């Protein structure tokens, strides 16, 4: 078990079809104590997540769920405080929370831009800032932010320019954290998925467009949420102890650079 006894906060984990849930499942499989966080999290969702994970892993997983609006700094501070109160420590943060809209640049209204930025970029900043207070005291800790190939290639698959820009900001934010907090023993890395079979595709990609994108991927398939979770597992475990400031591409070869 790569994460036995580690306290891992996974943000954006409410959907059983999502990257956050897949990461929670894989981390639990490797012995982690999982804190599943989402803006829509409630007791029923926590029960569904635990039931699903226990069934798939044959474990009695240690999982709690907390609600958090990551666009609000005080809410992020509250969640971190609650986790410390319960477990006494935090070992890693995986942020996979995001919203996406497929719009051309000239269609993007101010509210659309604000919603994307407040969750994808400001939310990542708030989460990292809150958990870094704990990590700095401990002189240890790992952050993994899930960005997107859109940040690297300038959108063009699912999200619009605002989505690509927000994820580009996540890349720069994570690298800045790695540089500033590395001397304290804190690591920060990014995972960049491409087309992944999650609920984020719903209403954003037509069947025709989906097939067109798949045809252009060397591995000839879309990513699965567990593919992304595997990269997150590597980055939070000791297998990547000398990796920080890195961007790990999980894109089937669709963006080789």
Burial 190-211 (b: 16+ CB within 10 A, else e): bbbbbbbebebbeebbeeeebe
Query: Mind telling me the catalytic residues?
Result: 163
Instruction: Answer whether 170's CB lies under 8 Å from 117's CB.
Output: no
Q: In three state form, how does the secondary structure of 132-171 look?
A: HHHHHHHCCEEEEEECCHHHHHCCCCCCCHHHHHHHHHHH
CA trace torsion 135, 42, 12, 201 (10° rounding): 180
Q: What dihedral angle (degrees, nearest 10) is formed by the CA atoms of 104, 105, 108, 110?
A: 170
Contact (Cβ atoms closer than 8 angstroms) between residue 40 and residue 49: no
Q: What does the longest C-alpha to C-alpha distance in the chain come to?
A: 51
């Amino acid at each position: 078990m790569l994460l036995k006894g580690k306290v891992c906060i996974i943000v954006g984990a409410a959907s059983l079809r999502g990257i956050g849930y897949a990461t929670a499942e894989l981390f639990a499989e490797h012995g982690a104590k999982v804190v599943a966080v989402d803006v829509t999290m409630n007791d029923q969702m926590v029960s569904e997540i635990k039931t699903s994970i226990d069934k798939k892993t044959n474990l009695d997983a240690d999982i709690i769920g907390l609600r958090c609006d990551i666009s609000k700094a005080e809410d992020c501070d509250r969640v971190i405080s609650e986790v410390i109160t319960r477990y006494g420590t935090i070992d890693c943060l995986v942020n996979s929370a995001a919203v996406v809209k497929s719009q051309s640049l000239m269609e993007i209204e101010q509210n659309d831009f604000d919603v994307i930025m407040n969750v994808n970029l400001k939310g990542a900043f708030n989460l990292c800032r809150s958990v870094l207070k704990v990590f700095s005291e401990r002189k240890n800790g790992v952050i993994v932010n899930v960005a997107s190939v859109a940040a690297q290639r300038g959108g063009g698959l699912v999200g619009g320019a605002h989505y690509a820009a927000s994820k580009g900001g996540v890349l720069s934010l994570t690298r800045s954290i790695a540089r500033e907090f590395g001397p304290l023993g804190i690591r920060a890395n990014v995972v960049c998925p491409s087309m992944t079979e999650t609920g984020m595709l719903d209403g954003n990609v037509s069947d025709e467009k989906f097939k067109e994108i798949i045809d252009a991927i060397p591995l000839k398939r879309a990513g699965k949420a567990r593919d992304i979770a595997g990269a997150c597992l590597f980055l939070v475990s000791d297998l990547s102890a000398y990796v920080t400031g890195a961007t790990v591409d999980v894109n089937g070869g669709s963006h080789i650079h």
